[in-house]
Chains A and B, each alone.
Chain A
């Protein structure tokens, strides 16, 4: 038990060092840019999975990202806030607060009814930023959002600097999500997912936990929204609307929602895929849908289950052939 734990930690550390070294020595802007997007999507998918962990299939995630993105954009371009870091924090906190406010009523609903409310939530957020032109710039969105202030002497101008910042944000986010998941809180989420009225009967305030999962997910979604807008310096109402929310869900399912690694793998592969398969660009949504279906049908545990499956298949081949009497 402890050994696998340690070896997992080792693999994660090696991977992280490799990522940092890559950022230090590689200077191709395009690849670094894709890297930043990958890391944003990794956090989005992982935080969405945390909500799923508590038995709630959420389609509200894009709404929180949009909230976070607009919070930063409005604070920095309209309100005149001077610290980008404060704006980033507010992005995350605002999304979490809204998640609590809507989560208290929403999480009372079970199953598909909870999921439906997410669709409405995203719709309302998108409509709001479209309509509130004086603040949000309407359909055109907001441009010229300043880049993050320099910190510890690091200027955020080059792709490399953003790549590094993305690593920091991603690692911090994932460590927190991981700590929550392996704690009693994560165990309680799983318990609620399996049998929520039983969880109530043993004294678990399921509402508090469900809202907490929703709010923690919302926090990181808002954080990534804020980071995104400070990175690309512009936002419009539909970058994180209904369809992008579906994509986030696809990352989770394709990677494998039962493991912590799953959404990371799903987000990374499906963010990189459209870039390496440029000629297929316009077919990409179809390809995504096809991948989703293949996974749901053939590999319910997601891509992370693939190695295990393959090993199992190989063993079966080599072992069972002699005694294949039946």
Chain B
């Protein structure tokens, strides 16, 4: 499904991501882990078009998407979430998801402006799907709350909801657990697991090793922008390179 070959990004003289390879098959749930500043988010930004790679190639479902615009990549089905609270703060939670739902509405601008019958039908469908998605991510009761006023954990869930509304084939989650309390972490892990069991392919960046170990079936470990290990949870746990990389930040990893 996703093939990454020799992906590299230089900032000035600094190599933020150096020649990373990765391949994800449909139905996998892959974890991308590594200490702070390992280049995980930069790697995500390269995959999803937010940064232009210095070299390397990204292929998604057989299509070369290297250096394409984020909206194009999202439209192809590779959809990401953000680490920061990325939501449309002035909209309600429901409106957030409705906006995201329009990507596959198939309506042209005239239908939208003139509010034709097809348009109204499609908008109805999107509305219903948005409500379902809110329920799915566990904030169904907050549909009409202003997104900016939501609690941190709810904002994060809304962010995942936004990505889900885009009908992703491959979902990229950037540290979804960051800043969440224990209950929220559990809920989120359950959600991720459930989405995966429903057939979604997921690439998960996580700083919290233990949480990532509990859901992912395969891992890619980055440090200083390079792949230092790849494999199953057991292989990763016993890999001396990984242990060494995490030693300095042992407290965070716990």
Interface residues of A (CB under 8 A from B): 179-180, 183-185, 187-188, 190-191, 194-195, 197-207
Contact = CB atoms under 8 A, between A and B. Distances in A.
A contacts with B: majority SS: helix
B10 interface: no
B221 interface: no
Contact of A194 (B91, B112, B113): B91
Contact of B89 (A185, A194, A197, A200): A194
Interface of B: 48-50, 69-72, 74-75, 79-82, 86-91, 95, 98-100, 102-105, 107, 109, 112-115, 123, 162-163, 165-166
A195 B166 contact: no
B77 to A, nearest CB: 10
Most buried by B among A183, A185, A199: A183
B71 A194 contact: no
Contacts of B166: 202-203
Contacts of A207: 69
B114 A203 contact: no
Nearest to B103: A203
Most buried by A among B49, B50, B89, B100: B100
Contacts of B50: 197, 200
18 contacts: A179-B114, A184-B102, A184-B107, A184-B112, A191-B99, A194-B90, A195-B86, A197-B50, A198-B88, A200-B69, A200-B71, A200-B74, A201-B48, A202-B74, A202-B100, A202-B166, A203-B79, A203-B104
A232 B81 CA distance: 55
A173 B165 CA distance: 34
Contacts of A197: 50, 70, 86
B250 to A, nearest CB: 33
A202 B71 CA distance: 7
A197 B112 CA distance: 23
A185 B89 CA distance: 18
Contacts of A204: 71, 102-103
Contacts of B102: 184, 187-188, 204
Contacts of B75: 203
A172 to B, nearest CB: 14
A213 B123 CA distance: 22
A179 B112 CA distance: 9
Instruction: For the complex of A and B, list the 3 residue pairs with the smallest distance between their C-beta atoms, beginning with the closest.
Output: A203-B103, A200-B70, A203-B74
A187 B88 CA distance: 11
Contact of A187 (B48, B72, B99): B99
Given A179-B113, A188-B102, A198 B69 contact: no
Contacts of B98: 187
A184 B105 contact: yes
B70 A201 contact: yes
Given A194-B89, A202-B166, A207-B69, 15 more contacts: A179-B113, A183-B115, A187-B102, A188-B99, A190-B90, A191-B91, A194-B88, A198-B88, A198-B162, A200-B49, A201-B70, A202-B163, A203-B71, A203-B74, A203-B103
